[in-house]
Amino acid sequence: MPGANLTRVEAQERSAVIANPHYAVELDLTVGPKNFVSDTTVTFDAKKGSSSFLDLIADTVETITLNGEELDVSQVFVDSRIELPGLDEHNTVHVVASCQYSNTGEGLHRSVDPSDGNIYLYSQFEVPDARRVYAVFDQPDLKAVFDFTVQAPQSWEAISNMPLEKVDNLDRLTEDGTLGEGRQAEGVRRWVFESTPKMSSYLTSFAVGPYARWTSEYANEDGRTVPMALYCRQALKDAMDKDAEYLFDITKKGFAFYANIWGVPYPYAKYDQVFVPEYNAGAMENIGMVTFRDSYIFESKVTDAVANRRVETVLHELAHMWFGDYVTMKWWNDLWLNESFAEFMSTLATAEATEWSGDWATFCSGEKSWALREDQLSTTHPIVAPINDLNDTYVNFDGITYAKGASVLKQLVAYVGREDFFKGIHNYLEKYAYSNATLNDLLAELAAASGRDLNAWSKLWLEQSGINTISADVRSDDQGIITAMTLTQSAPEEHPVLRPHRLAVGFYDLNEAGSVVRTERFELDVDGEHTAVDAVVGRKRPAFILINDDDLTYTKIRLDEESRKFAQENLYRFEDSLARALVWLSFWDITRDGEYPAEHFIGLSLKALSTEKHSTTFRYAIGQLSTAAHSYVAGRRREPVLSLVAQNLWTLATQSKAGSDEQFQLVRSYLGYGVDPDFEDHARGLLSGDLKFEGLTVDNNLRWAIITALAAQDLLADGEIDAELAKKDTTENREFAIGAKASVPTDSVKAWAWDAALHDESLTNSQIEEVAGGFSDNAVPALYVDYVQRYFDSVDWIWKNKSFHVAESLIDPLSGRGLYPRYADPAQLVAAGEQWLASHQDADRALKGMITKNTEESRRTLTVRNYNEQLS
C-alpha cells in the first residue's frame, strides 16, 4: 500500500515527545492540473534533545528547515516521513512540497465535470490523509490550532473549517491547465481563513472550485448566530434549489435537538455542507465543513429509503460536531465512540425531530441487519476493536463499529435509563471539550450519572465479540392459558459469552379490522442461560409473541413454533412497522442460517411486499428476496423460482398505487432479474414510453437502470450505450455508462471490464467501482469460471499498487460491487479462498479480513444451497 503506516506504539511515542503544535498552511492550487504547492510551518514544543517525525506524502519536497537550519531533503524525507532530529524545547519547521491531486477520493481530490468542464477540488483526510496535503503530525491526539490560506483562481470559491478572515487579489495569473483544457488563464486570489479551535488533523478540510452556494443562519442556544451554507457543483444547482430549504430545516432541527438533549450548544463558528462528486464515503464530519457525496442531491426520483437515509446522514454528521470533533478519541481503537454514537443519535433525532418517525424500523431493517451479517463472520471483532496500526483502522468502518455499536448504545439507554444516560453524556462533553478521551472516560461519566457499575457491562458488550441468540419456549394448558414461558440465551462456540439484556416481550393478536396489533407488553432483564418470564403466566396465550419487542437489545431471536407459524401466514397484517421489521429480519436470519427453506422465505416476502409501506424495510426485503432466489434456492429450482419472482414483482408493480414508492421500487427490482419472458418488451416499452405506469416517470436515473438491465441480458445494439450518454454527458452518466457496458454477459466484455478496473488509470474511483460492479453483476456462473483463480492471483498486486479505498472496492469485502466473482460456483470460490488464506498467513490483517469475509460468504451460500437441495 502506498504511504507509510503508523503503529499505535509509534503514535504513543510521538505524543509523549510532541506538544502544542500549531500549523500555518498555504496551498497554491494555481500551478497546473497534476500537482499543487504545499507550504507548511509547524511550531511545537518537544523534549529537548529528542527526535520525532512529521508525516507527508508528496511527489517532491523542495525545502525543509528546522529551527533555522536547512536539512538535506534526501536524508530526512524517507518513506513519507520527515525525520526531525535534535529537537529544542520550542521548535519551528518549514516544509515546501509539491503534492499530487488524487482521482481516488483521498487527500485532495480533483474532479472534472464533463457537462461544463468545471473543476472541483475537495479533501478527504480520514483515516490519516491530511499528510497527502501538508506536513503534519497526523494522529488524532495531537490536536492543534490551524491557520489555512489558499491561493486559487479568482472565479472559484474556497471553503475550509473556519470563516474567511480576508480575500486578496494577487498580481499574477493561473498557470496552464489549472482551469482545465482549453480555458484561458485568469487572476489569482488568496483566501485567508480564521484560526481554528484545537482540533485533530483528520478533521481539517478544504473545498475549492466554482461551487454554487446557498446561505442561511441558525440562532444558536448560546446566543450566537451561526452562519450556514450549502455548496454543490454548478451542474446540480437546479436540483439543489429544490432541496436547499429542506436541508437547512433538517439541520436546524438537529442543532436544536442535540443542544437540548445534551445541554451543550453547537460549539463552532459556522456550519457548511458541501456536496462533492466521486466521494468514497457517504459523508465526513470535518469541523464546520461537512462533505457529502453529491448523489444525495436528487436530480432523479429516489426511493423514500434513500431520502430517509439522507436525513439520517445529515444528522449523523451533525452529531459528530459534538461527539468526535468537540471530544475526540485518543487513538483509532475508540473509533466506535465516534461512529456508534453518531449512528444511534442520528436515528433518535430522525425519529423524534423529523417527519421520519419510523426511523427505528429503518435502523432495524438496514443498520442492524448489516451488523448481524458481519457479526457472524470470523472477522468480527469487539466494538472496542484492537487497532495496532492504521491498516487495522481502515477495515473497522464496518457494521460492528457503526450498527452493532449503535444497537448496543440503545441497549445501554434502556439499561441505565434515558435521563441518566444523557446527563452522563453532558458531563462527558463538558469535561473533555476540545480534547481527547477514551472509553473509560465515557463509562466513568455514565456510571457517575446513573449509579450503575458499567465495568462488567462494558467487558461483556463492548470488549467481547459475537452475538447471542434468544429463543422462546411457551407452555399453555388446554384452555390456552400460559403456564410457563422461558427465554433461553445461547452463544456461538467461538464467542461463548452470555450477556445481560434489557428487553420487552410483546403479545400480538388480530383485531376486528384484520390487523395484527400489540395487546400487551412486558419489559424484563434477561441474564444467564435461562430466564423465566413470570409476568405472562396465567394470561391467555396470544396469536403471536414477539421477543425483543421495540428492538431494545442486540440479539438474534428465535420465535416459538406457534408464533413462527402465525407470522409466516400473517406477516403482511402486522400494523407496526418496527414489529414487521423485527419479524421479517428473524425469518431472514433463519433462512441465512439454513434453518428455513429459501422458497418459504420468498413466498412470505412476496406476500408481505403487497402491503409493506415502510421504504427501508421494503428495500431490504427486496434485496433479501433477490439473494434467496439467486443464491440459496436449490439449483434445479433456481430458474423457475427466478421467473416466478420476476413475474410477481411485475404484477405487484402494476397493482401498486400510482406514483408510490412501492411502485418505483418494484419496477427497479424487476429490472434486475431479466428472466421474465416478457422482460425485453417491458424494458423497451418503458424506455420508449410505449408502456406507461401511471405516476411513474422514466427520468435520467431510471433510464440508465433500464439500459443497464437490457445490457445485462445482451439486448442492446452496438453503440446504444454511447448514444444514450451523448444525450447528456455528465459525471453521473459516465459512471452509469461504464457500468452498463461492463454488465454485458459476454466473455470479451468481461475481459475488457476486468482489465479496465485494474489498469485504466484514467478512470476515477467512482468509475472503477461501476466497471467492477458491472463485471460481477451477472448471475451466470459460466461467465466467471476462469476468473476465480484470476481474482486470487491478482489480490496481492491490487493491495500493493492501489490506494486503500480503490483496493477495497476491487477486492470487495461484502459490497457485491467489486471484482470478486460471487456468482461463480461457490465450492470453487471456497476452495480458492481457503488456498489463498493458507498461503498468506503473514498478509496484512486488513487484506486477510477482506478475503476471509468473501470466502465465508461463499461458504454460507454453499451451505444454505445444500440445505435447500436436500429439501427439494
| DSSP letter assigned to residue 480 | S
DSSP string, 791-847: HHHHHHHHHHHS-HHHHHHHH-SS-S-SS--TTS-HHHHHHHHHHHHHH-TTS-HHH
Can you list the alpha helix ranges (DSSP code H) found in 656-730?
A: 661-671, 679-688, 700-712, 720-727
Residue 173: helix, strand or coil by DSSP?
Answer: strand
C-alpha of 568 from chain center: 32
Active site residue 317: yes
How far, in Å, are 529, 557, 692 from residue 564 at the CA level? 22, 11, 40
CA angle 316, 319, 325 (to 5 degrees): 115
Q: Which one, of 572, 597, 574, lies nearest residue 587 by Cα?
A: 597
How far, in Å, are 1, 23, 57, 125, 680 from residue 131 at the CA level? 15, 13, 6, 8, 51
Query: Are the CB atoms for 312 and 186 separated by under 8 Å?
Result: no
- Rounded Cα distance, 570 and 564, in Å: 10
Q: Are strands 145-153 and 18-28 parallel, antiparallel or unpaired?
A: parallel
Q: Three cell numbers at 282?
A: 457517504
C-alpha of 131 from chain center: 23
Q: Are strands 469-476 and 556-558 parallel, antiparallel or unpaired?
A: parallel
- Rounded Cα distance, 203 and 324, in Å: 9
Long-range (24+ apart) CB contacts under 8 A made by 573-577 are 573/510, 573/514, 573/515, 573/516, 573/611, 574/508, 574/515, 574/516, 575/515, 575/516, 575/517, 576/517, 576/518, 577/358, 577/361, 577/613, 577/614, 577/617
Residue 163: helix, strand or coil by DSSP?
Answer: coil
Query: Are the CB atoms for 1 and 800 separated by under 8 Å?
Result: yes
Query: Are the CB atoms for 530 and 485 separated by under 8 Å?
Result: no
Residue 61: what are its φ and ψ, rounded to 5°? -115, 125
Paired with 472 in beta bridges are: 487
- Rounded Cα distance, 122 and 117, in Å: 16
Measured N-to-C along each axis, helices 845-871 and 598-609 cross at an angle, to the nearest 10 degrees, of 90
Query: Are the CB atoms for 264 and 221 separated by under 8 Å?
Result: no
310's CB contacts (< 8 A; 6+ apart) are: 296
Q: Which position among 26, 285, 312, 317 bears the catalytic label?
A: 317
Query: Are the CB atoms for 325 and 541 separated by under 8 Å?
Result: no
Q: Which one, of 123, 126, 127, 128, lies nearest residue 108 by Cα?
A: 123
The residue type found at 71 is L
Per-residue buried b or exposed e for 540-555, using 16+ beta carbons within 10 Å of the residue's own CB: ebbebbbbbbbbbbbb
Query: Are the CB atoms for 208 and 150 separated by under 8 Å?
Result: yes
Q: Which one, of 22, 432, 55, lies nearest residue 195 by Cα?
A: 22
Query: Are the CB atoms for 772 and 817 separated by under 8 Å?
Result: yes
The residue type found at 806 is V
Query: Are the CB atoms for 577 and 614 separated by under 8 Å?
Result: yes
Query: Are the CB atoms for 509 and 566 separated by under 8 Å?
Result: no
Measured N-to-C along each axis, helices 731-742 and 700-712 cross at an angle, to the nearest 10 degrees, of 20
Which sequence positions are flagged as catalytic? 317
